[in-house]
Amino acid sequence: MESASFTQTSRFLQFLNISTWLINVATNVLYSTVLHPTIGHVSHKHLTPFTANILFTEAFWLFLYVLQLGFLTTHWSRDENIRNTTVKTVYSSFAIFNMLQFGWALLWVHKHFVISEIFLILNFLNILRLYIRLGHKLGRINRTKFIRLVFIEAPTARLPLAVLFIGVIHNGAVAFHVHGTAGRLLSNIFIWIIFVVGGGVVVWFRDWVFGLAIAYHSLSIAIEQLSIKIIALQWIFGTPSNNVLTCSLRYFRSGCVVVGSCYDSTI
């Protein structure tokens, strides 16, 4: 039986999460399509070795927004464990993510790159804390854990953490004017840092969700860099991203086998 305080907190979070999500989605969609300068326009006016393909980026965010819409429904889930996780573990982290992302969009399009970098770092730390609280290691997935992964962990922690990690590096490159020989050298070091972090999380924590997101954004960056420069050192990104993708798909496949067997056993 849920206590009165739990019910009150749950209702408050329902309002907070839905309202902040709508504000964030509306702002980012408008500044990606209608309002000028758009997020993509500003990005292409300030090219860096981490500038990603805008179509890939928008497709990722659209996918994430759909998953987050599913997360919002967990407030009314009949599964008590799901509701408890949403209210007690996720708590206000999702709303904070939305508002910091909303603030980042406004700062980015108005070219306040240093402050927008601070917003991204704060948001990264916010989601990293949630990532740890939810349980960063992905073990063997059964039916219950798969539902939790799809409706809570992926949309609130694992996917946002990956995109914020890439975002901090890209925004930082813009804010601190990464150009010239020294800048390109540092950029290629950070490219391999992305690979090490992505591959490390996949291997040690078996987090194929984070790994797939890192591989996807790596591919997006590689494609855009090849279109920006005739000879781009970012072609080396192809091999690291393929390695991360291979490891991620391996654990993803094992997870699907486990979930599939669970569903078969219930038929």
Mean pLDDT estimate for the chain:
85
Query: Do 94 and 32 form a contact (C-beta atoms < 8 A)?
Result: no
Q: Where are the domains of the chain?
A: 4-266
In the prediction, which pLDDT does 250 show?
52
Which tens digits make up the pLDDT trace of 10-66?
A: 999 999 999 999 999 999 999 999 999 999 999 999 998 889 999 999 999 999 999
Other beta carbons less than 10 A from residue 238's beta carbon? 14
Which tens digits make up the pLDDT trace of 172-204?
A: 999 988 766 677 778 778 888 888 888 888 888
Residues near 36 by beta carbon (within 8 Å), at least 6 away in sequence? none
Residues near 55 by beta carbon (within 8 Å), at least 6 away in sequence? none
Q: Report how far residue 252's alpha carbon sits from residue 93's, in angstroms, rounded to the nearest whole number.
A: 26
pTM of the model: 0.88
